[in-house]
Amino acid sequence: MQIESTNVSPALRETLERYLPYVAAIAIAWLLARGLKKSIWSAIGLYWAWRFMPW
């Protein structure tokens, strides 16, 4: 990964190049887990709503 900014010090550039992929992967996994959790709770709510509807 190339960072083309001249305002970034070499130490910060090295830190970003080392840890940014891990931080991005963790953030994506966290967002996917949040979406999965919301989907599961929505499915449970729909099940209960349909289960107890008076037909």
Q: Specify the pLDDT at position 22.
A: 96
- Please determine, for residue 4, whether its predicted confidence score (pLDDT) is greater than 70: no
11/15 Cα distance (integer angstroms): 6
User: Which residue do the tokens 């991005």 mark?
Assistant: 24
- Please determine, for residue 23, whether its predicted confidence score (pLDDT) is greater than 80: yes
Q: Specify the pLDDT at position 14.
A: 92
Q: Specify the pLDDT at position 47.
A: 94
- Please determine, for residue 6, whether its predicted confidence score (pLDDT) is greater than 90: no
Q: What is the mean pLDDT of the chain?
A: 89
**Helical H runs in the chain?**
10-51
Q: Specify the pLDDT at position 13.
A: 87
